[in-house]
Chain A
Amino acid sequence: MHIIQILSLLIAITTIIGQPVQAKDMVIKEPPKSLDKFYPPQSDQPKWTQQMHKLSTHFGGVFINLKEKDFENVDKHAEKLVEEYKKTSEMVPEWEEYFDIKAAEAFAAAAKTHDIAKAGKASGDLGKTCGKCHAEHQVAVWTKYHWPSFHKIKVIDPSSEKEVYFHKFMKQISGSFKAMRINFGEGQYGRAARALKTFKSEYMELKSTCSKCHTTDDVKRFYVGGDASRAFAGLTKELNAEKPNPGNFWKNVGLVGKTGCKNCHLTHRTYSMIKEVWEEK
């Protein structure tokens, strides 16, 4: 019986959180506009996400309490699950067909038998409804509501002191970074030093711009933190020296690339590209 309980629990959890994508190709389609009202700024809270958490909590609550033989709470969670599931099904009309109220009610009825094996079995049909929607929309919803639209972001160009679009600025900063490296490689240390000054001021402008979203100190340390600052100090030191040390210079170039460029690109570029496609439509 113990093994059956564990297996049922595993099946249930796998069903609800890990419904695999059925097709090999994944299409990331922009979520319907009707979802906008459940996310800021139309809503003061990310209400759709909160609704998902409620469903997940009540679903999990059924199994956790079955395992503990706390049947009063099993019944409460089962009833609340049906209630919230119905409510969720009415929130986004375009997604109504993903919901199967009968499956939710059947699951609640099975849970109320207090037989974990029956509940596990009944969770399958319900879990499939969640899984199908997640497989088709979860990435898109996260992308739309939890990631910025980079192509709308403007950065102050420290040279002209005018705002420029992010993508243009990234090309500019990439140019300054290259100018520093190429000039150094050619032994033009004066030009490399000027390019470093420009590159650093542009890099610091990114810090200003990024801080509009990244408002906590922890994340600021991550993207223009101690490593990047030390790398810039190292580059400045070499380019202020009478005879710069190429080894130290290139080591610090690598550090800037790794701690600055790469970390942020890995985190943001994919989502930025998806949003760009949607917003170009």
Chain B
Amino acid sequence: MKLSTRFLNFITAIGCFAIAGISIAYFLINEKFEWIPEAALELVREKVLLERPDAKRCSECHKDIYEAWKESRHSISWTSKTYIDASENRTKEKCLACHIPESVTGEKPIPRLELRDEGIYCVSCHFINGKMNGPYDLVAPPHPTYRNPDYVNSKFCGSCHQKTFKEWKSTGVENTCQDCHMPRIKSRLTQKFPLSLLHKKKWVGNHKFLHGDITEKDILIEVEFEENFFNFSLLNKTVPHRVPTADNGDPRLYLYITFLNAAGELVDKNKWIIAPQQDTALLFNKKMAFRYRLFVPVAHANIILKYQPAWSKEKDLIWEKTVHRKIK
């Protein structure tokens, strides 16, 4: 046999062994990790990962999740100016539990002392009773991860978002918090090449914790001119909790109405603030009625609805409408 043929055979054999090895590893890791001897796993465990590492450490493997989280409000729950101002430079004891939670478990957490700048970070939500938890049982060689059904359950988010959780629960809607605010895509949990390829793609929630945009489809209005009154109602048609909602933040809807006479001149104007902290936020699928006395003749009303999140001074336009009094 020629030397080149022998070499080719040798390379082919190595390649076959490598493919077989990778296939077996893939199979074991994804399908039968219980077959892997604990002693073998111990060799690749990184104990430091079970000592409450910072988020940057987690990002060494979970890059995509880290980057999404970094853009989330959770990542700045301790450092945001809104929080610092609202909590009088973080002196309000009652804010601490949810702005720097030790461990989120479905009950109200306790505050932690270390790594406060990380806010609500990987360890807060995934490290419970000394173990890494998540929606899947995973062998994850550096650290084992245990499946906990709470991660796809609204109650988990309700640990801190208690008021919103109660609002959602009272609607009877099945979609969970995670369905809307952590939409899932098929992806890999880690991005550390090439080891990440050993993991099967899974449904991974968006760790930006999407806030959701309010649109014309979400908030509907009905209006009616009476002799001396302008009656209108608002309806939260699509969002299965109050709009806006917040346990302690202060997001708002601003409804501005300007009243014009038949000549199109401004004769009156007013505004309504719809906010959870004023108990005026819109319930799901229930009309909220308003009645405004008109002291001058009005022919048209221009209505603008804007939304201001709790953390912003800016208001986003949701819709603008002009309505006309019917001439009898």
Contacts and interface: CB of A to CB of B under 8 A. Distances in A.
Contact of B273 (A152, A190, A204): A204
Given A204-B280, A208-B278, A212-B248, A193 B91 contact: no
A148 interface: yes
Interface in B275-298: 275, 277-280, 291, 293, 295
B58 to A, nearest CB: 24
Contact of A41 (B91, B229, B280): B91
Contacts, number: 62
Given A40-B91, A190-B295, A208 B275 contact: yes
Given A190-B295, A204-B280, A208-B250, A215 B94 contact: yes
B113 interface: yes
Contacts of B295: 190, 193
Interface string A199-239: 00100110110011101000010001000000000000001
A240 interface: yes
B266 to A, nearest CB: 15
B91 A201 contact: no
Which has the most chain B C-beta neighbours within 10 Å: A40, A153, A156, A190?
A40
A213 B293 contact: no
Contacts of B92: 40, 212-213
A211 B96 contact: no
Nearest to A154: B85
Interface string B286-315: 000001010100000000000000000000
B183 interface: no
Given A44-B113, A204-B280, A207-B278, A149 B273 contact: no
A41 B90 CA distance: 6
A46 interface: yes
Interface residues of A, number: 28
Given A152-B88, A201-B273, A207 B293 contact: no
A149 B87 CA distance: 11
B273 A158 contact: yes
Contacts of B88: 148-149, 152-153
Contact of B293 (A158, A220, A240): A240
B134 interface: no
B277 A207 contact: yes
Interface in B42-72: none
Interface in B61-101: 85-94, 96
Nearest to B308: A161
A207 B281 CA distance: 13
B106 interface: no
A68 B240 CA distance: 58
Which has the most chain B C-beta neighbours within 10 Å: A41, A158, A190?
A41
A158 B85 CA distance: 19
A197 interface: yes
B93 A40 contact: yes
A241 to B, nearest CB: 10
Interface in A241-272: none
Nearest to A201: B273
A205 B250 CA distance: 10
A197 B273 CA distance: 12
B270 A197 contact: yes
B222 to A, nearest CB: 20
Nearest to A208: B277
B137 interface: no
Interface string A171-193: 00000000000000000001001
Interface in B224-278: 229, 247-248, 250, 254, 270-271, 273, 275, 277-278
A204 B276 CA distance: 11
A201 B256 CA distance: 13
B109 interface: no
B142 interface: no
A202 to B, nearest CB: 11
A193 B293 contact: yes
Contacts of A205: 273, 278
Contacts of A40: 90-93, 96
A44 B86 contact: no
Please give me the 6 A-B residue pairs with the lowest Cβ-Cβ distance, nearest first.
Answer: A208-B277, A40-B93, A211-B277, A204-B278, A190-B295, A41-B90
26 contacts: A40-B91, A40-B93, A41-B91, A41-B93, A44-B113, A149-B88, A152-B88, A156-B250, A158-B271, A158-B273, A190-B295, A193-B295, A201-B273, A204-B273, A205-B273, A207-B279, A208-B250, A208-B277, A208-B278, A211-B248, A211-B250, A212-B250, A213-B92, A213-B94, A224-B279, A240-B291
Interface of A: 40-41, 44, 46, 148-149, 152-154, 156, 158, 161, 190, 193, 197, 201, 204-205, 207-208, 211-213, 215, 220, 224, 239-240
Given A41-B93, A212-B92, A215-B248, 6 more contacts: A44-B96, A152-B88, A193-B295, A213-B94, A239-B293, A240-B291
